[in-house]
Amino acid sequence: MKTLSLLFAIAVITLPTAVWSAEVRCTFQSRQTCDPTGCVPTDPTTSFVTLRTDSNQYGRCGGTKPCDWYPMTVQQSGAFSNIDFATGVQGAKMTQDGSLFIETVSLMDKVIVSYGRCNG
């Protein structure tokens, strides 16, 4: 029983290694920025995400600035991997094959929802 518990704990905190390399890049195809008055489409190409699966790091990257790195915790839930951060202002989920990646970020009174895909 101890072996089974240990295997379950390892599976909860890592992305499926059979599918992903040590570094995964996720790009966005659409983005909405929402506030109390509604949502408007915004440019999805201004940022991308890098996941470092070997060290559980989530990087928000874009433009000429270096990536902002956050520790991530990953939990499997059916066909999705749910990605949580210590910051409490963002989260993400993706399908196991990377064909759908969703990121949500809250910024003051706004919520930014981005949809894309990952490869790596």
pLDDT band for position 6 (50/70/90)? Answer: very low
Summary mean pLDDT of the chain: 83
- Residue appearing with tokens 């990605």: 83
What residue type is 78 in one-letter code?
G
Domain coordinates in residue numbering, the chain: 2-119
If you count them, how many residues does the chain have? 120
What is the DSSP track for 25-88? Answer: EEEEEEEEEEETTEEEE--GGG-EEEEETTTTEEEEEETTEEEEEEEEEEEEETTEEEEEETTS
pLDDT band for position 90 (50/70/90)? Answer: confident
Q: Examine the pLDDT at 20 and tell me if it is beyond 70.
A: no
Whether pTM > 0.95 for this model: the answer is no
pLDDT at residue number 7 = 35
pLDDT at residue number 14 = 44
